[in-house]
Amino acid sequence: MSAGRHPPPESRSDGEWDRLAGQWLEHLALERNLSPRTVEGYASDLAKLIEFCLELGISPGDVDVSVMGRFFSDLADAGAAPRSRARARSAASGFFRYLERIGLSDRSPLEDLSGPRLGRPLPQVLSVEEALAILDAPTEETPLQMRDGVLLELLYATGMRVSEVVSTRLQDWLGRDGLVRVHGKGNKERIVPVGAPTVRRVEAYLATARAALDPRCDRILVNHRGGPLSRVSAWSILDRWARKVGVQVDAGTGHKNSHRVHPHVLRHSFATHLLKGGADLRSIQEMLGHANLATTEIYTHMDLSTLKEVHASAHPRARG
């Protein structure tokens, strides 16, 4: 692939910057196999650094920690958000690592320079009353409504990701023991406790409604044709019932992140309500399958009996 397909960032003409930037972008496309969109993003972010350095008359080999510090200060003064500065830093870091690799630099000028503090936006969380109102919304008069109720129940009662819920198989349901086996990211498996109300609801659905939907797969949740319920359908089901009880709010953009209630909100609510109920972070981490529920926490294994005790004592849907 020629450099023409991944042109260097547009900036003032400078042979050395253009040549090295073009080589790096081609390296990203050919050797790193990054998507064209990702390469374009790196090109755009590197362009800011190139323009800054050209204004100062600095060549790639002369960039040091002082120059980079001035560059990031300049971005901040121009009103660039922390995430924009972090992207610019990522592009610069990759570029200078490439220069090290090809022998044009001995050390990255970013090694001794700390990155911008991004902070973590607080997740949307429902109140216990709002979560239970959504769960209780399906009247269960039809097999599909019973299916919807089980979907909502499992999302909130277990904290599973929507992809994990829709992929849960019959053999993963261990209702007699008050447990469900979850297949998470990276094929990691975990066991999550479920309370008595959830067990009763799932067992009732499995005994009657699921069979009425003429299942053609081994998933617990099936669509109206008997096939696996999709992630998109699960999102729509939650949206519909959240609207019915007046909990859903959206900005009208059509994007899921503009909605107050979506599957990950139930996951956040699961963790938050457990924490407020007295559960410790490490138990919550285990149930979520998260290595980093909080940035300072590390993944710690908890035995199954401890998790069941924590869930039974702290989760609103474990009682009743």
Could you please report the per-residue DSSP string of 161-194?
Answer: -HHHHHT-BGGGEEGGGTEEEEE-GGG-EEEEE-
**What does the pLDDT look like over 230-254, one tens digit per residue?**
999 999 999 999 999 998 887 555 5
285 assigned to some structural domain: yes
277 assigned to some structural domain: yes
pLDDT in the model for residue 101: 87
**What does the pLDDT look like over 49-64, one tens digit per residue?**
999 899 888 888 888 8
C-alpha span between 301 and 292 (Å, rounded): 13
Asked whether residue 146 falls in the same domain as residue 209, the answer is: yes
C-alpha span between 151 and 270 (Å, rounded): 14
Percent above pLDDT 90 for the chain: 41
103: pLDDT strictly greater than 80: yes
Asked whether residue 88 falls in the same domain as residue 157, the answer is: no
Asked whether residue 93 falls in the same domain as residue 138, the answer is: no
Give the pLDDT band (50/70/90) at residue 298: very low
Q: Is 262 a catalytic site residue?
A: no
pLDDT in the model for residue 86: 81
Which of 101, 116, 139 corresponds to the end of one domain? Answer: 101
33: pLDDT strictly greater than 80: yes
Q: Is 27 a catalytic site residue?
A: no
104: pLDDT strictly greater than 80: yes
**What does the pLDDT look like over 149-163, one tens digit per residue?**
999 999 999 999 999
Of 6, 48, 147, 161, which is the active-site residue?
161
Asked whether residue 141 falls in the same domain as residue 64, the answer is: no
Asked whether residue 240 falls in the same domain as residue 308, the answer is: yes
293 assigned to some structural domain: yes
33 assigned to some structural domain: yes
Asked whether residue 162 falls in the same domain as residue 20, the answer is: no
117 assigned to some structural domain: no
Number of domains in the chain: 2
Of 290, 311, 315, 317, which is the active-site residue?
290
Percent above pLDDT 70 for the chain: 81
C-alpha span between 315 and 60 (Å, rounded): 56
Q: Is 244 a catalytic site residue?
A: no
Of 169, 244, 299, 319, which is the active-site residue?
299
Asked whether residue 252 falls in the same domain as residue 137, the answer is: yes
For the ranges 87-91, 159-163, 217-221, the one whose mean pLDDT is highest: 217-221
Give the pLDDT band (50/70/90) at residue 295: very low
In this structure, are residues 268 and 123 in contact, taking their beta carbons and an 8 Å threshold? Answer: yes
In this structure, are residues 265 and 241 in contact, taking their beta carbons and an 8 Å threshold? Answer: no
Q: Is 185 a catalytic site residue?
A: yes
Asked whether residue 142 falls in the same domain as residue 21, the answer is: no
221: pLDDT strictly greater than 70: yes
Helix axes 281-288, 304-314, angle to 10 degrees: 100
Of 259, 267, 273, 311, which is the active-site residue?
267
Asked whether residue 80 falls in the same domain as residue 168, the answer is: no
Q: Which amino acid is at 20?
A: L
Q: Is 98 a catalytic site residue?
A: no
Q: Which two tokens stand for residue 75?
A: 């971005």
C-alpha span between 281 and 261 (Å, rounded): 24
C-alpha span between 93 and 71 (Å, rounded): 13
Give the pLDDT band (50/70/90) at residue 197: very high
Residue 119, phi-psi category: left (phi > 0), alpha (psi -120 to 50), beta (remainder): left
**Strand 189-193 and strand 173-174: pairing?**
unpaired
Q: What is the CATH number of the domain that holds 242?
A: 1.10.443.10
Which of 101, 136, 159 corresponds to the end of one domain? Answer: 101
C-alpha span between 161 and 205 (Å, rounded): 21
What is the extent of the structural domain holding 91?
3-101
Asked whether residue 167 falls in the same domain as residue 306, the answer is: yes
C-alpha span between 271 and 293 (Å, rounded): 9
Nearest to 122 by CA among 286, 235, 272, 282: 272
Average pLDDT, the chain: 82
Of 83, 185, 225, 240, which is the active-site residue?
185
Nearest to 34 by CA among 8, 43, 82: 43
300: pLDDT strictly greater than 50: no
Q: Is 267 a catalytic site residue?
A: yes
Of 181, 231, 260, 264, which is the active-site residue?
264
C-alpha span between 279 and 308 (Å, rounded): 11
Neighbours of 120 (CB within 10 A): 7
36: pLDDT strictly greater than 60: yes
pLDDT in the model for residue 291: 61
In this structure, are residues 134 and 245 in contact, taking their beta carbons and an 8 Å threshold? Answer: yes
- What integer is the mean pLDDT of 78-99? 84
Asked whether residue 28 falls in the same domain as residue 93, the answer is: yes
122 assigned to some structural domain: no
Q: What is the CATH number of the domain that holds 71?
A: 1.10.150
pLDDT in the model for residue 90: 85
288 assigned to some structural domain: yes
**What does the pLDDT look like over 63-75, one tens digit per residue?**
888 788 888 878 8
8 assigned to some structural domain: yes
Which of 101, 136, 165 corresponds to the end of one domain? Answer: 101
Asked whether residue 249 falls in the same domain as residue 197, the answer is: yes
What distance separates the 2 farthest-apart alpha carbons in the chain? 75
In this structure, are residues 192 and 159 in contact, taking their beta carbons and an 8 Å threshold? Answer: yes
